[in-house]
Structure 1
Amino acid sequence: MNVFQMQCKMEIKRMLRNRYFVFWSLVMPIAFYYIFTNVVNTNAPDPGAWKAHYLMSMTTFSVMGSSIMSLGIRMVQERTQGWSTFIRVTPLSDHVYFIAQMAGQSVIHILSITVIFSFGAIINGVSLTPFEWFMSGLWILLGSLPFLAIGTLIGMMKKVDTAAGVSNVLYMVLAVTGGMWMPLEVMPKMMQNIGYWLPSYHFGNGAWEIVQGKMPAWNNVFVLFAYFIVLMLLSKYMRRKQEAV
């Protein structure tokens, strides 16, 4: 347990020193949130509901990006620098190493959620019940697991540049087609049909349901859980293949 805790602390410190993380996970989502709720006229029939809805969109957008990009690229960097090879000759097991990375990333997600939620409440006056604040934050934290699994897959790549390019494209495609930038209902029918099968839509939809006074639908839970299991199994299989080589 002490080894696990120390590894988690190290991952958290490294993340907070990463300017790349600060920009993609905090600065950009907050900037988008301010622009689309205060600068751009969205003609929303209920501005208060729209500000709460888009606050959830940008928070899920932030956490999803942190999971895919920060975790994945960091893992590739560690491999290219020989760090992952060095880990194998230490008492730290491979499983503890990967779980600690995901756990450390989750702690960082709590920071991101808190900062963005605070911005929405202070700047836009978003008013939710304590239960809705807590449940939406908890949903976003737990719902990030499939994207952490995607991050571990990105981490299997051999070059940092390749990992950065793939993770950027994947991040943006999932955000747009999942309805995080604009509601899925205003998109072409074909994009809607695709979006309903993506984890990003179900991730965002769970939070959108909570701020409307509801609870995430069972299909939101099922789809995210299914993606998490499949992606983690695939990550484990690919890691074993790489170790065998």
Structure 2
Amino acid sequence: MKAFQMQCKAEIKRVLRNRYFVFWSLAMPIIFYYIFTNVVNTNAPDPAGWKAHYLMSMTVFSVMGSSIMTLGIRMVQERAQGWSTFIRITPLKDSVYFAAQMVGQSMIHLLSITVIFSAGAIINGVSLTPFQWIMSALWILIGSMPFLAIGTLIGMMKKVETAAGISNVLYMVLAVAGGMWMPLEIMPKVMQNIGHWLPSYNFGNGAWAIVQGGAPSWKNILILIAYLVLFMLLSKYIRRKQEVM
């Protein structure tokens, strides 16, 4: 247990020292949030509702990016530097090592959620009930699990350049097609049909429902669980194949 705690602390410190994380996961979502709620005229019929909705979008956008890119690329860098090989000859179990990475990343997500929520309250005076703030934060924190699993899949790649390119494309596609940058309802029908089954849309939709006074639907929950199981099984299968090779 002590080894697990120490590894979690180490993972958190490493992420916070990463300027890439600070820019893409904290600064960029806040900049986008300001632009699309104060600069661009979206003609939203309910400006206050739109500001709360888009705050959730940018928070989800931040956590998705941190899960897919920060975690995934860091794992590839560790493999390239021989860190993963070194871990195998220490008493620290692989399962503890990977669990510590995911828990450490989740703690970073909690920081991102706090910072971006605070930015929304300061920039636009977003006012939600304590229950809505807490439930939306919990939903975003727990709902990030499938994207952490995607991060571990990215981490199976051999080259940092390949991982960075694929993770960037995947991140942006999921964000746009999942309705993070603009509501899915204004997109073409084909895009809407695809988007409703993506993990990004179901992740965001749960948070949007909470700020509207509702709750995530069972469809949102089941789809995210299905993606989590799928990505975890793929990650485990690929890791075993790599160990054999």
Q: Same fold (TM over 0.5)?
A: yes
Cα deviation 1:134-190 (Å, max 9, x = unaligned): 000000000000000000000000000000000000000000000000000000011
Counterpart-to-counterpart distance in 1, 2:209 and 2:173: 22
Match of 2:37 in 1: 37
Amino acid at match of 1:19: R
Counterpart-to-counterpart distance in 1, 2:60 and 2:173: 14
Match of 1:165 in 2: 165
Cα deviation 1:3-41 (Å, max 9, x = unaligned): 000000000000000000011100100000000000000
Matches within 5 A, 1:41-56: 41-56=41-56
Counterpart-to-counterpart distance in 2, 1:37 and 1:93: 47
- Structure 2 unaligned runs (5+)? none
Structure 1 length normalisation: TM-score? Answer: 1.00
Counterpart-to-counterpart distance in 2, 1:135 and 1:39: 29
State the Cα distance separating 1:125 from its structure 2 match.
Answer: 0.4
Counterpart-to-counterpart distance in 1, 2:162 and 2:186: 33
Cα deviation 1:25-80 (Å, max 9, x = unaligned): 00100000000000000000110000000000000000000000000000000000
Match of 1:5 in 2: 5
Amino acid at match of 1:215: A
Match of 1:27 in 2: 27
Matches within 5 A, 1:47-196: 47-196=47-196
Counterpart-to-counterpart distance in 2, 1:123 and 1:31: 11
State the Cα distance separating 1:122 from its structure 2 match.
Answer: 1.1
Amino acid at match of 2:208: W
Q: How many residues align?
A: 245
Counterpart-to-counterpart distance in 2, 1:83 and 1:228: 26
Counterpart-to-counterpart distance in 1, 2:63 and 2:218: 21
Structure 2 length normalisation: TM-score? Answer: 1.00
Cα deviation 1:82-101 (Å, max 9, x = unaligned): 00000000010000000100
Kindly report structure 1 stretches of 4+ aligned residues shifted beyond 4 Å. none
Counterpart-to-counterpart distance in 1, 2:8 and 2:174: 28
State the Cα distance separating 1:111 from its structure 2 match.
Answer: 0.1
Counterpart-to-counterpart distance in 2, 1:22 and 1:170: 20
Counterpart-to-counterpart distance in 1, 2:92 and 2:39: 50
Match of 1:217 in 2: 217
Match of 1:15 in 2: 15
Are positions 1:202 and 2:215 aligned together? no
